[in-house]
Amino acid sequence: MNASLERRYTNCKTTASDTPAINAGDVKLRASMTDARIVNGPSLNGLTFADKKPGFYRYLRNTFKLAKNPLELTYGRKRGDKRTVYDGALVFDSGSKVSASYMLGTRNCKLKYSYLHGGVTTLEPCYDLGKNVWDFAISRRLYDNVFKATYQTWSKNLALEWFRNRVFNGTFKISASVNLAKKSKDPKFIAETTWELEM
């Protein structure tokens, strides 16, 4: 059994949230609190609880050979709203692959090419067939740090992200995004940190 604690801060609503979680067998118990702070006594606004079971999703995976290249196909179905998603990835070598995702019965279909340059820099252009637009992402790994920039052409949203694995059971991520289509270019900042503990 293991436990984790997630903390999240954002400048948009000047709020913070805490999400402790416990994995007990095949059941995951989660609780979340927003605006968790102590001002003239404890304040626990937005307190919620939830439990999740991995078996809630039907998930199948298979790998084939296509011209000596591995082709991985996955099928996922959520019983609650009966959504069916097909994913596929064709790996050309250790540094490049093409992947596709399609939700059955919708125009939600995306194609993405991933190219790893020099073992540290990843380029990922993505084409959304439903919206007929492109998204672009570039990331670079530096020791335990990953720096990433993404741009969505349909929303003109530019985002920067810094992700780091801690030495002692945990991660943290700092991200900033701005919508270039709006007159007000006020950026949105989010800081997230996670601690994990084996019990």
The pLDDT score that the predictor gives to residue 99 is 96
- Measured CA to CA, the distance from residue 79 to residue 131 in angstroms comes to 27
The pLDDT score that the predictor gives to residue 26 is 52
Strand partners, 32: 48
pTM equals 0.73
Residue 82 CA from chain centroid, whole number: 22
The pLDDT score that the predictor gives to residue 37 is 44
SS3 54: helix
Q: What is the DSSP letter of 66?
A: E
User: 46-64, pLDDT tens digit by residue?
Assistant: 555 454 454 445 678 888 8
User: 55-96, pLDDT tens digit by residue?
Assistant: 445 678 888 888 888 899 888 877 666 788 899 999 999 899
User: 158-196, pLDDT tens digit by residue?
Assistant: 999 999 986 666 788 999 999 999 888 789 999 988 877
- Measured CA to CA, the distance from residue 123 to residue 116 in angstroms comes to 7
The pLDDT score that the predictor gives to residue 42 is 44
- Contact residues for 46 (Cβ-Cβ < 8 A; gap 6+): 17, 32, 33, 34, 35
Tokens of 116: 């790893």
How many CB atoms neighbour CB 123 within 10 A? Answer: 14
User: 127-153, pLDDT tens digit by residue?
Assistant: 999 999 999 999 999 988 999 999 999
Whether the pLDDT of residue 28 is over 90: the answer is no
pLDDT bracket for residue 38 (50, 70, 90): very low
The pLDDT score that the predictor gives to residue 67 is 82
Residues listed for the chain: 199
